[in-house]
Amino acid sequence: MMSSRTPRPTPGYLEDDAPPPASVRLQLNALQSLCRQTVAVRLAMVVIGTPFALANTPDGVPRYAVLASAVLGVMTSYALLRDWERVGPRLLAHPTLMALDLLFVATLLVTASPASPLAYATVCTPLLSGLLYGWRGAGVFTGLQLVVVLSTFRAWEHRPGAGVSTLLVAGFCVAAGIIGVTLRNLLFRFGAAGEALSEADARLAAAEAVESERARLAREMHDSVAKTLHGLALAADALAASADHCDPGTLKRQANLVAGAARRAAAESRDLLSDLRRRTDLTTTRPDLTVELNCAIAEFTARTTTEVELSAPQSPIPLPYATAHHVLAIVSEALENTHRHAHATRVRVELTTADDEALDLRVQDDGVGPPPATAPEDLAKTGHFGLLGMSERATSLGGRLCLGRSPLGGAEIHLHVPLCATPQEEAAHA
């Protein structure tokens, strides 16, 4: 059974006008610029064509009429060119004002004849109407101008070459109207395409920002609260196992460990919330990385009793807050891995700088060695969230993270960071 719905015709070259995009200000400014250029072209054509028209005009009244018409054309075109910011919007809002331009065209043709070089200045009227009003407006005003041109030809048909010149002027008028509308539609279509591209870029940037923030939250939670909660769970298991022996001293010690881990988890949660609400201030004092490393290593040694050796320059190493935060988080995670996974008894942290252009940090241990080589995209699948977080932090600093064999016999984490790079998260805050 055939459908009764009539197929929609495919739009051709003379399709309806392209609708202006929502953000039309830029397109209107470009349209106004094209219109001003059209008026400037007509002014140049009148100035250039006037001497040739006067040379081919008899003395007396005809010559004075051509001169007066040329002067009127120059004055009118100059006024439009100078005050187009005020005249253009009125022409755009009131198409009937283009009738004044048609009156000027009629005056120019009647006095100079269709065979005069000044007649070609009239081509600018359909071009203007096409730029301003689209197909319908261009069709109306081009048709009216063709009527003016043919009527003028009846008055000058006795002049040699008037017929050929009239056909040329009429053809140029039709072509100018089509060109004007085509330029207008192309301008609006490019504007609509640019607007759609901008919206797509904005949505993509928003999605990337959300994904980046989710990854950052995952790193922060893994490097702080998640590790503490893991320790809290182990302490709670030890407390439950000690309850069977009913040893008050052991129970008290295990209970203190659970309470301390809980307080630490609460403090880390508050620090994480404070960091989420903090705006990076680029004018604040930059933390000294060496001092911060000493504090982090001292806290780790007191908690795990693992021997850690720090080798760092004696001079201060001030870094932006975001850079120092990421470097310290990488060191803390690497130290935690030496204790929890590598079962190391000795750890060495080496910090060096190369002419204030790059920072190299190595965390070496004497533990069981590095895990099997895994691609960065597979770290989450294999459960190596700590290594994934360290790799993402290094990438956000514009650096790189390498995992290899340590001279001490265990694993080595090598971080290389160019100091001239701005961290992505800090740049986003700025």
Q: In a 3-state reduction of DSSP, which class is residue 117?
A: helix
Which 8-state DSSP code applies to residue 57? Answer: S
The tens digit of pLDDT for each residue in 317-357 reads 888 877 888 888 888 888 888 887 888 889 999 998 877 78
| Residues contacting 265, CB < 8 A, separation 6+ | 225, 228, 229, 232
CB neighbour list of residue 416: distance below 8 Å, 6 or more residues apart: 358, 359, 360, 399, 400, 402
| Percentage of the chain exceeding pLDDT 90 | 4
Q: Give this prediction's pTM.
A: 0.47
How far apart (Å, rounded) are the C-alpha atoms in residues 117 and 54? 10
Whole-number Å distance between alpha carbons of 138 and 34? 16
Res. 221 pLDDT band, cuts 50 70 90: low
Segment 355-365 mean pLDDT: 86
Residue 272 pLDDT class (50, 70, 90 cuts): low
Residue 7 reports pLDDT greater than 70: no
> Could you tell me the two tokens for 122?
């009239």
pLDDT single digits (tens) 371-414: 775 555 555 555 556 777 788 888 888 888 888 888 888 889 99
Query: Are 363 and 331 within 8 A, CB to CB?
Result: yes
Cβ atoms of 405 and 411 within 8 Å: the answer is yes
Q: What rounded mean pLDDT belongs to the chain?
A: 76
Q: Which of 156-160, 164-168, 291-295, 361-365 has the lowest mean pLDDT?
A: 156-160
Distance from C-alpha of 80 to C-alpha of 238, rounded to nearest angstrom: 90
**Residue that wins the pLDDT comparison between 38 and 263:** 38
User: Could you tell me the pLDDT band of residue 227, with boundaries at 50, 70 and 90?
Assistant: low
Going by their DSSP bridges, the two strands 307-311 and 346-354 should be labelled as parallel
